[in-house]
Structure 1
Amino acid sequence: MILSFFPGITDEMFTVQQAEISQTVTTGETLVLSCSVPDSFPNGPVLWFKGTGPNHDLIYDFKGGVFPRVKQIGNAAEAGNRDFSIRISEISLADAGTYFCMKFKKGKPDIEYQSGQGTKVTVIGEMSPLHLGV
């Protein structure tokens, strides 16, 4: 690996980082998905998607849009920002799946530059107490 010849240089400087490979949450809870993007990447937006290929769904766009249950954690508009983490509230069983943080290169249209490895989210239903008849 070429990077080993340069002390202090790591893969993190050249990749979109999603800290968690998998997470398990209970319905009704809030899910935090982390993502950091190196400063060295070209200009362009960062988007969050659920799923892959033609069936992926846009979950969050830091440039705007209506995403009622999703909020950004950091300030994406701040100069030098590397944190593109999001918080999804009121998790339901339908939220299970794999989420990807994707960096795009600015263009017309924008071009996918690099994706994080994905975070697989498992959602478990809240256990309701068992009521026995008297």
Structure 2
Amino acid sequence: MRWFLPFSLLLLVSFVGVMFPVSAPSVTGGPIVAGDVAWMLTATGLVLLMTPGLSFFYGGMVRTKNVISTMLQSFVALGVISILWVVVGFSLSFGDSLGGFIGNPLTYFMFSGVGGATHPDLAPTIPLVLFALFQLKFAIITPALIT
């Protein structure tokens, strides 16, 4: 019963994503460079390894009874931030500017328009979805570093 509310919110977000049509990106950059893609995949994997490493580090700094709780904070942040990033985080960070301070949350809402094409400003030689994935890993590790 205690999982009903989080599960229903996740289900609601999933259904909202289905209701918004995916539009093709209006602007595309140059060709995809295989070396850049390989390096970005490697760097993304290395950044992803920082989260469990940090949780083990924090787990070693607390008493035995608090290890699981401390490590779980990092992994729960991984799940929550991933969902938030797909829904609105990427749009707020890299969407069309609203007053020069923050991005429009509807530009890439639910990752609409984020696909395998390149973007001339954000990622001219790699797919935009790979750029978004790389930035997601840093969004995940940031709250884990703060705790």
Shared fold (TM-score greater than 0.5)? Answer: no
Which is richer in helix? 2
Task: Pick the TM interval, shorter chain.
Answer: under 0.3
Which is richer in strand? 1
